[in-house]
Every structure is written in structure tokens, then in C-alpha cells.
Amino acid sequence: MIIQRDMSMAQAILENNRLIPLLPRFKIELGFGEKTVREVCRLYEVNVDFFLEIVNSYVNEEYTPQNDLTFFSLSSIVDYLKNTHAIYLEEELPHVEAEIHEWICKSELSRDKKDLVVTFFNDYKQEFIEHIMKEEDEVLPYILEVEKQYEAEKPDPEFLEKLRHYSIHEFAREHDRLEDSLSNLAKLIIKYLPPLRNRQLCNQILTDLFALVNDLIDHAAMEDKILVPKVAEIEQCIKQQSS
């Protein structure tokens, strides 16, 4: 089902509950009554075109974004990504980490196996943080600079020189290993570690791990379908204008 702007937001959520984790990334809160998607977006000052592109890409693997991506700004994408990064670092990753440490404390694992799990997760956490920080420090400022140069009467020569050696497509090549590493942790738990007496806790850890893996995959797919094409389109416009 494609989510439309005049659809009830409540209906959209009920029919696509995977949207629930996305709402905080737009700073949208539950409790919108009978308001439509358009009305809720207006209430929270969210560009409705951008919202629809994100949520439809997220819940539907076959969804193809509209050809004209000029209906929303690059700064809208940057704000969304910053909110998403904050939720990953401040909520979702610490939640999984706390569950793993609780599981280890209550398990009968040998010291070597406990150290293996902790080391594996800590290495992943460090890699994850470094990836996010690179986006925050390099990629997002670059995206905003692309928008600034596009809107300028004449692009800066230094930026034009940078465009000769760098493109947003470089960023798109770095996604896959984050979800792969997290999947490997889940595989380690399933294949090689002895069962825990608290089966409910173990099941919850695996459920949350796979939920985060799937979210990272969907998030990367959204960036590849929306962020990268839009930035690349504007990069090309800048090159054409300056030639």
C-alpha cells in the first residue's frame, strides 16, 4: 500500500506498524486523532513530500521515488538524518547493549565466551559510532554545501574543484558492513553460545538485534533511493551551470 497525503495518519500507522519507529525521527508524536498525513506534517512543520518519500521507501521495497525530487530541500534530509543518528546512538544501540550485558551477567557462559561477545559488540559499537561521526562531520556538511552552492549565483571555485574528485556516490558504497557486523553477532549467539535459562531475555535480545539490523538495511536503502539521487542530481546541475 502506498501512503498518500490525504490518508488518515492513524490508518497509515495501523496498516504499516513499521512506521512507528520513524515518527520520532520527524519529531512527530502519537495522538493525531483523525488528522490526515498532510495535516499531521503541517502541525509538526514537516515537509509532506519528504515524509511520503521516506515512509513509502521504508515500508515498500518496490517503491520508486518520484522523478522530481525538488519538492523538498537537502536540509530536510540532513535534519532527518541527524535525528535518526541521535536515536541510534542515544536509544537503540544502548538498549541492545544493556540487554546483552544483562544476558551475559545471568548466563553460565565461560569467561572466554563472555569476553568474545563483549569484544565483538564493543568492536561493532566503535565501528558504528565512527560511521555516524563520519556522516555528521563530513557527509552532512557536504550535503548542505551542495545545496548552498546550487542556490548561489556563482558556485565557489574551490567547491567546483572538490566536485571533480568527490561525489555523493562515494558515501553510498559504505553502508553494507554495519548491518553485516550486527547480523554476525546474532549468528554468533544462535549458533555457538549455550542456552540461557531466561529464554525470554535471550529471545528479546535476538528480536531487538534483528529489528536493528532490518532498520539499518531499510535506512541505507532509503538513503540510496532518495538521498544519493537527489544530491547527485544537484551535483550534476552545479557542474552544468559552471561549464
Give me the DSSP letters along 71-124. Answer: TS-HHHHHHHHHHHHHHIIIIIHHHHHHHHHHHHHHS---HHHHHHHHHHHHHH
Dump pLDDT digits (tens) for 39-75: 999 999 999 999 999 999 888 877 777 655 567 888 9
Using the predicted structure, report yes or no on whether residue 206 has a pLDDT greater than 90.
no
Q: What would the mean pLDDT of 110-121 be, rounded to a whole number? A: 84
pLDDT in the model for residue 47: 93
Residue 148 and residue 171: Cα distance in Å, rounded?
19
For residue 65, count other CB atoms closer than 10 A to its CB.
16
Indicate left, alpha or beta for 193 from its phi (over 0: left) and psi (-120 to 50: alpha).
beta
pLDDT in the model for residue 178: 64
Least confident of 155-164, 166-175, 191-200, 206-215: 191-200
Which residue, 2, 134, 100, 13, is CA-closest to 60? Answer: 2
pLDDT in the model for residue 173: 65
Point out which residues pair with 8 in neighbouring strands: 36
Place of cell 542456552: 195
* 66/111: higher pLDDT: 111
Nine-digit cell string for 197 = 535459562
Nine-digit cell string for 14 = 495501523
Give 225-230's long-range contacts (Cβ < 8 A, gap of 24+).
225/57, 225/63, 225/64, 225/65, 226/53, 226/54, 226/57, 226/65, 226/69, 226/77, 227/77, 227/81, 227/143, 227/168, 228/168, 228/169, 228/171, 228/172, 229/65, 229/69, 230/69, 230/74, 230/77
Dump pLDDT digits (tens) for 81-101: 999 999 999 999 999 899 888
Using the predicted structure, report yes or no on whether residue 136 has a pLDDT greater than 80.
yes
What backbone phi and psi angles, to 5 degrees, belong to 36? -80, 170
- For residue 179, name the pLDDT band (cuts at 50, 70, 90): low
**What pTM, to 2 d.p., does this model score?**
0.84
Dump pLDDT digits (tens) for 161-177: 888 888 888 776 665 56
For residue 100, count other CB atoms closer than 10 A to its CB.
19
Which three-class secondary structure state does DSSP give residue 69? coil
Using a pLDDT cut of 70, give the percent of the chain over it. Answer: 91
For residue 138, count other CB atoms closer than 10 A to its CB.
12
Point out which residues pair with 36 in neighbouring strands: 8
